[in-house]
Amino acid sequence: MASKAPNTPPANDYGERSIRVLKGLEPVKQRPGMYTRTDNPLHIIQEVLDNAADEALAGYGKKIRVTLHLDGSVSVEDDGRGIPFGLHPEEKAPVVELVFTRLHAGGKFDKGKGGAYSFSGGLHGVGVSVTNALSTRMEVSTHREGQVAHLVFAGGDVIEPLTVRPLAGGERKQGTTVRAWPDAKYFESSHLPMNELTHLLRSKAVLMPGVAVTLFNEKTRESTTWQYKGGLRDYLQQTLPVDPVIPLFEGAGYADAGHDSFAEGEGAAWAVAFTEEGASVRESYVNLIPTSAGGTHDSGLRDGLFQAVKGFIELHGLLPKGVKLMPEDVFARASYVLSAKVLDPQFQGQIKERLNSRDAVRLVSSFVRPALELWLHQHVDYGKKLAELAIKAAQTRQRAGQKVEKKKGSGVAVLPGKLTDCESRDIAYNEVFLVEGDSAGGSAKMGRDKETQAILPLRGKVLNTWEVERDRLFANTEVHDISVAIGVDPHGPQDAPDLSGLRYGKICILSDADVDGSHIQVLLLTLFFRHFPRLIEAGHIYVARPPLFRVDIPARGKKPAAKVYALDEAELSAILDKAVKDGVAREKCQISRFKGLGEMNAEQLWETTLNPDTRRLLPVQLGVAGYEATAALMTRLMGKGEAGSRRELMELHGDAVDVDI
């Protein structure tokens, strides 16, 4: 076996030579994802567009033209001041060359010190140099001071050095044209997403009222120009999918020279719309850069809106007891376009999708809040509509926060402890009796058919669930137990609930035959009609009818003594009449009245109410009135605020009711 030569460096040797210094634009080519979006070349074109927009923002340009060429290149042309092309005093190279080849060279660093751009989206100075690095070719022409300078790059390197010549007669006086051929190898797709591009160009026009932004496609020969005289308001109105509840709230505020917290010119312009439904439109910009992920300026708008609306609600005493207003309640239905101007914006990530500048919250809020407060006090009716929208959102949020989940076991439904289940699992035969009270429940357990009949005793009166939100139902033990026992979750009339878990073919309400029993019956029917309507529709709900009277008839002739049960007074009369016909005097018949199911022994309960051969079971179905009419009647009968309607019903039909005292 050959021995290893001494002093041979190991394969993973790490020394001075291992350290590589990336120069010029090499870092961008090595890790393009650190500097731009690599799904398509839109962002590197946006860097060029942002420079043109910065010129317009600074007040030096009125036109921006973007051309999609047949060869896949894109050119951006503006009528700004043109990039300087003289030699840089320190770098001894043409300034225009430095802008496109050095990662941290630009005119946007000297903010607030008489720099060329007081407000701009450019911050890091890596913008167009990234575009240059990731393009196979880039041509730059700059018109300035009666001259035109031209130079060409390939992969970020100069291949045609700067040439300067005097402007010809018909040429424009000033401006810059940049034409780039994005290098497909750096992008997942070399195609520009047209929807995003048009949205971007349109938004630039929105944010710079009066500036014309044009897109020309050489392939289709189509040309589109956007120019918004009305700015943010026009744009938001055209973009909103539905009509707002109140008129658009728009405004703008900028710091003056003497402001103690912010630099001169810092501030924001905004347009806000409130809608009851539909998708929200939410767009924010900082110095014309679209911040798709929002940021601190959005938070400032939210804070300003919230503080103003909250103050208005408190002033007019509109907040219901127990409701706590949160910023999201006001913001939930807001659509907006926000354009902030920040002197030295700090962004998250090189593609500037989110603003991180902490002061921007206070900056935007300090202008939005007083403007909205003034507007609300000038338009009190609109203010009240907005307050109503916010309070409604708060109530919905609070209800959702109070949602009570069904208790879960270890993957298996944990049946209520008080449920006495049946042995069969065939829902064609299985029945569950919801029995009023424990004593009746005890008799029912003893008298039932264990094979097919289950008993669930209910303690006291069930909750009136007519106005209880579905998410709050499980806070009530009885309702929770009923839902778990039957194996179906609460649902609405339009829902398609999962009935595959249904454990019983018949769900029978079994209560006393008196007034209290009838009340419990109504409460349970309310629960099923409101929260389990599909069970009624599918014919699974029944009402068991226990007797109110027992008649002991003595022996007569060959007929032995008999015990006969009557559901009500009418049946009792019929039984007594028949006994008289059979020759038994009425006074010899012994009549007992059941005060409740608890008075019946197990045998009697089986015989009268549980035995399928002798019981009376009433199927519950929707009547001819249909769902809507029934729901309206139930609201009158069971609604909390319907006492007046109930009184009216009593006055109309009170004579037809037999009062059981």
Annotated binding residue 51: yes
Annotated binding residue 195: no
Annotated binding residue 126: yes
Q: Is pTM beyond 0.75 here?
A: no
Specify the DSSP class assigned to residue 559: B
Task: Answer whether residue 163 shows pLDDT above 90.
Answer: yes
Output the CA angle 21-23-25, nearest 5 degrees: 135
Q: Residue 522 has what pLDDT? A: 93
Burial class (CB in 10 A: 0-12, 13-18, 19+), 513: buried
Instruction: Give tens-digit pLDDT for 294-340.
Output: 989 999 999 999 999 999 999 999 999 888 898 889 998 899 999 99
Other C-beta atoms within 10 Å of 464: how many? Answer: 16
At 440, list the tokens: 């009746």
Identical fold between 26-226 and 231-401: no
Instruction: Give tens-digit pLDDT for 172-199.
Output: 789 999 999 999 999 998 899 999 899 8
Number of H helices, E strands in the chain: 18, 23
The pLDDT-based confidence of 658 (bands split at 50, 70, 90) is: low
Measured CA to CA, the distance from residue 425 to residue 423 in angstroms comes to 7
Q: Residue 350 has what pLDDT? A: 57
Residue 55 or 116, more confident? 55
Delimit the domains of the chain by residue range. 26-226, 231-401
Least confident segment among 107-121, 190-204, 272-286, 398-412: 107-121
Unique residue bearing structure tokens 């700090």: 346
The pLDDT-based confidence of 398 (bands split at 50, 70, 90) is: confident
Specify the DSSP class assigned to residue 186: G
Query: 350 — phi, psi (to 5°)?
Result: -65, -25
Annotated binding residue 644: no
Task: Answer whether residue 646 shows pLDDT above 80.
Answer: no
Q: Which amino acid is at 262?
A: F
Measured CA to CA, the distance from residue 199 to residue 49 in angstroms comes to 13
Beta bridge partners of 251: 270
CATH number of 26-226: 3.30.565.10
Annotated binding residue 417: no
Unique residue bearing structure tokens 């109070």: 402
Task: Answer whether residue 533 shows pLDDT above 50.
Answer: yes
Question: How do strand 289-290 and strand 147-154 relate by DSSP bridges?
Answer: unpaired
Beta bridge partners of 284: 338
Best mean pLDDT range from 181-190, 226-235, 561-570: 181-190
Q: Which amino acid is at 655?
A: D
CB-CB contact of 206 with 228 (8 Å): yes
Annotated binding residue 14: yes
The pLDDT-based confidence of 9 (bands split at 50, 70, 90) is: very low
Angle in degrees, 0-180, between the axes of helices 194-207 and 42-57, rounded to the nearest 10: 10
Which of 52, 49, 85, 66 is CA-nearest to residue 165? 85
The alpha carbon torsion through 172, 173, 174, 177 (nearest 10 deg) reads 20
Other C-beta atoms within 10 Å of 292: how many? Answer: 14
Annotated binding residue 95: no
Cβ contacts of 543 within 8 Å, gap of 6 or more? 508, 509, 521, 525, 617, 618, 620
Task: Answer whether residue 494 shows pLDDT above 90.
Answer: no
Least confident segment among 121-125, 239-243, 285-289: 121-125
Q: Residue 544 has what pLDDT? A: 94
Sheet strand arrangement including 267-274: 249-254, 267-274, 334-341, 282-286, 289-290
At 392, list the tokens: 């409604």
Q: Which amino acid is at 647?
A: R
Which of 325, 279, 84, 37 is CA-nearest to residue 182? 37
Task: Answer whether residue 125 shows pLDDT above 60.
Answer: no
Which of 120, 119, 171 is CA-nearest to residue 145? 171
Least confident segment among 9-13, 447-451, 579-583: 9-13
Specify the DSSP class assigned to residue 293: T
Annotated binding residue 411: no
Chain-wide mean pLDDT for the chain? 85
Which of 291, 388, 377, 381 is CA-nearest to residue 336? 291
- What is the CATH topology of the domain spanning 231-401? Ribosomal Protein S5; domain 2 (3.30.230)
Annotated binding residue 127: yes
Alpha-carbon distance values, 482 to 135, 393, 406, 520 (Å):
68, 31, 11, 14
Cβ contacts of 303 within 8 Å, gap of 6 or more? 327, 361, 364, 365, 368, 369
Catalytic residue numbers read 436, 512, 514, 516
At 182, list the tokens: 């994005």
CA torsion through residues 415, 420, 423, 426, sign: negative
DSSP labels for 321-369?
TT----HHHHHTTEEEEEEEE-SS--EETTTT-EE--THHHHHHHHHHH
Task: Answer whether residue 124 shows pLDDT above 50.
Answer: no
Measured CA to CA, the distance from residue 200 to residue 53 in angstroms comes to 11
Q: Residue 293 has what pLDDT? A: 87
Q: Residue 345 has what pLDDT? A: 85
Q: Residue 79 has what pLDDT? A: 93
Taking the CA atoms of the chain, what radius of gyration do you get in angstroms? 40
Beta bridge partners of 64: 78, 213
Task: Answer whether residue 39 shows pLDDT above 70.
Answer: yes
Measured CA to CA, the distance from residue 543 to residue 531 in angstroms comes to 17
Q: Residue 5 has what pLDDT? A: 47
CB-CB contact of 287 with 108 (8 Å): no
